[in-house]
């Protein structure tokens, strides 16, 4: 054993075929693992500062012919395809670390296309971004999961508790990207001609918003229809110079994120990248992966959770494209989008911390129900509320309430298969919402959202009832002495046992 180094030696015999490795680490390695967790989290935060900031402006700055929302629909459509075919293949070829670097670079052309936004520049760049996104998320999940297993072994703690903690820290950092991305766009747009010139209206009253008359405001909110609002001064595209400045900052963020991963992240081979059962050690073709995805879909619980997962995608698309355009841009002006969305990002991040801790005490059911009630109430309020520049605080309250997310609670374990399936159906929600974004008025979109939310909660309730029955049944089976258990009983108990056998392949050496 070399000082602080790692020895990986393949077992002889049958295990060689599955590339099984022993990982030998010193106790002091835990600080290095924490450094790697921080590195991944910071890189994603910087990366999504650029992407979230760009995405939130798309429906407003590239509103002509619905270019912005169509490009986002293409991003998530490509992500759906990518979820099914690419992650395992790419990670197998490039390893986790370099998959992260290459996938993150796929975001750069989309940001760069903002300098010349046309259908033939933004759409191909959107496809590339979508194809890169799934391998990026899968490699991140693999990296955090395997480091969690090693760290748990080093510190003699529960594997699941450590993995949940690592993912919790990661998502907290990732969610603050909403804040930084919107802050950048707001500061640039507010300081420029588009924001500064509009602080005083034609009567000389400081409104803090754009010129407005109540006839224009009639078409805002639930009445908003993309085709009918071209005469609203608030919806005019900001000067190119401001958009170019924002895009240049965002593009440098993407480059910075790639550099952070390339320079500061230890390769996963240090912690046994090709250990038995790890994603990198699994030879699997696109068609096998596709069949595995459909096999997963045969499970009743998976089917019942599809509507709520689709809703999660649709509601994020709604606030990113429709709320920003129909409510914020229409009534306050494009330069205010970032400030309002910062509120969404901050509440979202705070809730992820509070809910993560609270779940242990009150359970996920209460959190899911709370989230559903808040979202349902917001949708109903948005149907009747008429946005007006004099009621700025309401925009921020609504944005904050929308930030009380349902997501994170449903898939707490973050197992690769569940997470991949979750991303798949969430992406379907994004695609659907962005696809109809330019064709439907805001009122119809809100009705659709509410309908999907109701269906989703019905499905989720059935899953919880089934889970309760299953747990009761398992309890009864476990009380039966082993010798009296039937073959079917034993099978049910074994299938429910989620103990991760990868743990056995981690060997701790003392200093």
In tens, the pLDDT along 159-178 reads 777 887 888 788 888 878 88
Higher pLDDT, 26 or 20: 26
The distance of Cα 14 from the centroid of its chain, to the nearest Å, equals 39
- pLDDT tens digits, residue range 128-161? 999 998 888 888 888 888 888 888 888 778 777 7
User: What is the model's pLDDT at position 25?
Assistant: 65
H-run or E-run covering 21: strand 21-26
Render 97-144 in DSSP notation, one character per residue: HHHHHHHHHTTHHHHHGGGS--HHHHHHHHHHHHHHHHHHHHHHHHHH
User: What is the model's pLDDT at position 251?
Assistant: 94
* ∠ Cα 366 369 371 (to 5°): 110
Name the band, by pLDDT with cuts 50, 70 and 90, for residue 108.
Answer: very high
Write the burial class of residue 479 (CB in 10 Å: 0-12 exposed, 13-18 middle, 19+ buried).
exposed
Least confident of 18-27, 31-40, 157-166: 18-27
Q: What is the token pair recorded at 485?
A: 């258990």
- pLDDT tens digits, residue range 311-346? 988 988 888 888 888 888 888 888 888 888 888 878
User: What is the model's pLDDT at position 290?
Assistant: 59
User: What is the model's pLDDT at position 295?
Assistant: 67
Q: What is the token pair recorded at 177?
A: 């990207």
Sign of the C-alpha dihedral computed for residues 330, 332, 336 and 339 taken in this order: negative
Name the band, by pLDDT with cuts 50, 70 and 90, for residue 8.
Answer: very low
pLDDT of 110 over the 90 cut: yes
Give the separation between CA 326 and CA 38, rounded to whole angstroms. Answer: 38
User: What is the model's pLDDT at position 228?
Assistant: 56
pLDDT of 75 over the 50 cut: yes
Higher pLDDT, 191 or 251: 251
User: What is the model's pLDDT at position 489?
Assistant: 60
* Greatest mean pLDDT among 14-18, 139-143, 387-391: 139-143
pLDDT of 7 over the 80 cut: no
Render 414-471 in DSSP notation, one character per residue: --HHHHHHHHHHHHHHHHHHHHHTTTS-HHHHHHHHHHHHHHHHHHHHHHHHHHHHHH
User: What is the model's pLDDT at position 485?
Assistant: 64
pLDDT of 493 over the 60 cut: no
User: What is the model's pLDDT at position 503?
Assistant: 37
* Greatest mean pLDDT among 5-14, 27-36, 297-306, 312-321: 312-321
Return the percentage of the chain with pLDDT > 70, whole number. 72
Question: Mean pLDDT across the stretch 34-56?
Answer: 91
Question: Mean pLDDT across the stretch 26-48?
Answer: 87
Return the percentage of the chain with pLDDT > 90, whole number. 14
Beta strands in 209-286 (DSSP E): none
Give the separation between CA 45 and CA 178, rounded to whole angstroms. Answer: 9
pLDDT of 40 over the 90 cut: yes
| CATH T-level assignment (fold) for domain 28-199+213-502 | Growth Hormone; Chain: A; (1.20.1250)
Q: How many CA atoms lie within 13 A of 308 on its CB side?
A: 25
Q: Can you give the length of the chain in residues?
A: 511
Question: Mean pLDDT across the stretch 505-510?
Answer: 41
Least confident of 19-23, 192-196, 279-283, 501-505: 501-505
pLDDT of 410 over the 50 cut: no
The mean pLDDT value of the chain amounts to 75
Q: Where do the domains of the chain lie?
A: 28-199+213-502
- pLDDT tens digits, residue range 342-381? 888 788 777 777 776 776 777 777 778 888 888 899 899 9
Question: For the whole model, what pTM was predicted?
Answer: 0.74
Least confident of 79-83, 280-284, 373-377: 280-284
pLDDT of 254 over the 50 cut: yes
Give the separation between CA 89 and CA 56, rounded to whole angstroms. Answer: 31
pLDDT of 480 over the 80 cut: no
- Rg of the chain on CA atoms, in Å: 24
414's torsion region: left (phi>0), alpha (psi -120 to 50) or beta? left
* ∠ Cα 37 38 39 (to 5°): 90
Name the band, by pLDDT with cuts 50, 70 and 90, for residue 248.
Answer: very high
pLDDT of 487 over the 90 cut: no
Question: Mean pLDDT across the stretch 99-116?
Answer: 92
Question: Mean pLDDT across the stretch 191-216?
Answer: 47
């Amino acid at each position: 054993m070399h000082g602080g180094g790692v020895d990986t030696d393949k077992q002889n015999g049958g295990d060689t075929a599955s590339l099984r490795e022993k990982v030998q680490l010193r106790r002091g390695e835990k600080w290095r693992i924490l450094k790697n967790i921080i590195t991944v989290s910071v890189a994603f935060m910087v990366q999504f500062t650029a992407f979230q900031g760009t995405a939130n402006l798309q429906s407003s700055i590239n509103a002509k012919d619905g270019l912005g929302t169509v490009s986002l629909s293409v991003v998530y459509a490509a992500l759906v395809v990518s979820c099914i075919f690419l992650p395992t293949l790419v990670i197998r070829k490039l390893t986790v670390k370099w998959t992260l670097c290459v996938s993150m670079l796929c975001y750069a052309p989309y940001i760069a296309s903002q300098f010349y936004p046309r259908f033939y520049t933004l759409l191909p760049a959107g496809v590339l971004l979508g194809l890169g996104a799934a391998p990026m998320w899968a490699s991140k999940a693999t990296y955090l999961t395997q480091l969690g297993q090693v760290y748990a072994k080093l510190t003699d703690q529960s594997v699941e508790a450590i993995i949940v903690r690592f993912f919790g820290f990661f998502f907290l950092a990732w969610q603050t990207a909403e804040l930084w991305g919107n802050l950048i766009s707001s500061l640039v747009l507010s300081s420029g001609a588009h924001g500064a010139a509009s602080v005083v209206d034609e009567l000389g009253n400081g409104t803090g918003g754009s010129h407005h008359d109540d006839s224009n405001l009639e078409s805002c909110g639930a009445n908003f229809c993309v085709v009918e609002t071209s005469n609203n001064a608030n919806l005019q595209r900001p000067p190119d110079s401001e958009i170019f400045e924002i895009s240049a900052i965002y593009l440098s963020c993407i480059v910075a994120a790639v550099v952070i991963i390339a320079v500061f992240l230890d390769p996963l081979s240090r912690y046994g990248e090709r250990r038995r059962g790890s994603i990198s050690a699994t030879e699997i073709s696109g068609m096998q992966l596709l069949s595995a995805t459909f096999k997963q879909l045969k499970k009743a619980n998976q089917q019942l959770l599809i509507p709520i997962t689709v809703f999660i995608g649709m509601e994020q698309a709604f606030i990113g494209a429709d709320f920003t355009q129909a409510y914020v841009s229409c009534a306050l002006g494009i330069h205010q989008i970032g400030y309002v969305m910062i509120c969404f990002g901050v509440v979202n991040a705070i809730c992820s911390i509070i809910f993560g801790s609270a779940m242990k005490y009150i359970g996920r059911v209460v959190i899911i129900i709370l989230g559903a009630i808040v979202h349902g109430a917001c949708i109903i309020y948005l149907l009747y509320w008429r946005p007006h520049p004099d009621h700025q605080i309401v925009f921020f309250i609504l944005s904050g309430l929308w930030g009380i997310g349902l997501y994170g609670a449903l898939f707490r374990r973050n197992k690769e298969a569940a997470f991949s399936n979750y991303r798949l159906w969430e992406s379907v929600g994004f695609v659907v919402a962005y696809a109809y974004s330019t064709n439907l008025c805001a009122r119809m979109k809100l009705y659709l959202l509410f309908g999907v939310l109701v269906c989703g909660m019905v499905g989720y309730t059935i899953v919880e009832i089934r889970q309760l029955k299953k747990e009761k049944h398992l309890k009864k089976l476990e009380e039966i002495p082993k010798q009296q258990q039937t073959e079917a009983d034993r099978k049910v108990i074994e299938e429910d046992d989620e103990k991760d056998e990868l743990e056995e392949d981690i060997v701790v050496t003392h200093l």
